[in-house]
């Protein structure tokens, strides 16, 4: 079962939803079954173990489904693929693809759905996995500085350094994360008071790598 999962369905604490048990439990994963040890706020009793038979192939009637959800903190490094800035100070909406790198900390849920797909002679087990998380990020990036984004108050053109921060919603596939973000940039040089986007919100798309 570990080999057929997309992202390490391993022993641990899960929120379980099945016909035999619904609630928080400690789960051990075996070749053709899962052992569920119910947990509650009072005490943990290993003698109340529930065995869920989940063989790779089943004949006869359609087997029941089971769902396991593991929750953890999510530590990522991410890049913002692009930023979309609303119109400001007479300039139209802007689409920015300059470099951005950030660290991300969030709260993640990994969902494992164990189900069976019907074949001509039997039902074959499959494990569907996806993860999602919500959290905040902080990093640095670049932005184009020129007369148009300062209302003609500078004459030079250069790439300014910005401190970027915000919140993001991520969907995880294995160790990779894709998501959407809402953020704010702060220019870190002497022209920060002239920049029309200083502290203004933007939306964007992120791509990240999970570190834990």
pLDDT in tens, 170-210: 998 767 789 999 999 999 999 999 999 999 999 999 998 88
Q: Which domains does the chain have, with CATH numbers?
A: 72-109+130-210 (2.40.160)
Distance (Å, whole) CA 205 – CA 198: 20
What is the three-class DSSP state of 55? Answer: coil
- Surface-to-core class of residue 118, CB atoms within 10 Å of its CB (0-12 exposed, 13-18 middle, 19+ buried): exposed
pTM greater than the 0.85 cutoff: no
Question: Mind giving me the DSSP string for 61-88?
Answer: SPPPPEEEEEEEEEEEEEEEEEEEE--B
Q: What is the pLDDT of residues 63-109, one digit of tens each?
A: 888 999 999 888 999 999 999 999 998 899 999 999 899 999 999 99
Token output for 209:
């790598």
Nearest-CA neighbor of 24 among 35, 36, 33, 32?
Answer: 36
């Amino acid at each position: 079962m570990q080999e057929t999962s997309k992202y390490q369905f391993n022993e641990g604490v899960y929120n379980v939803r099945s016909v035999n048990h619904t609630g928080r439990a400690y789960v051990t994963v075996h070749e053709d079954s899962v052992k569920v040890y119910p947990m509650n706020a009072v005490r943990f009793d290993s003698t109340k173990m529930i065995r869920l038979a989940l063989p790779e192939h089943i004949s006869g009637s359609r087997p029941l489904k089971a769902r396991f959800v593991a929750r953890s903190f999510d530590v990522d490094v991410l890049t913002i693929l692009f930023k979309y800035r609303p119109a400001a100070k007479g300039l139209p909406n802007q689409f920015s693809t300059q470099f951005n790198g950030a660290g991300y900390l969030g709260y993640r849920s990994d969902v494992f759905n164990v189900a069976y797909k019907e074949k001509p002679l039997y039902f074959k087990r499959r494990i569907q996995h996806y993860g999602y998380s919500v959290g905040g990020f902080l990093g640095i990036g670049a932005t184009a500085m020129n007369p148009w984004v300062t209302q003609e108050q500078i004459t030079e053109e250069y790439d300014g350094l910005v401190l970027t921060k915000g919140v993001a919603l991520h969907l995880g596939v294995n160790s990779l994360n894709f998501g959407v973000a809402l953020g704010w940039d702060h220019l870190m040089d002497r022209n920060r008071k002239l920049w029309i986007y200083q502290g203004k919100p933007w939306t964007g798309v992120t791509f990240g790598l999970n570190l834990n």
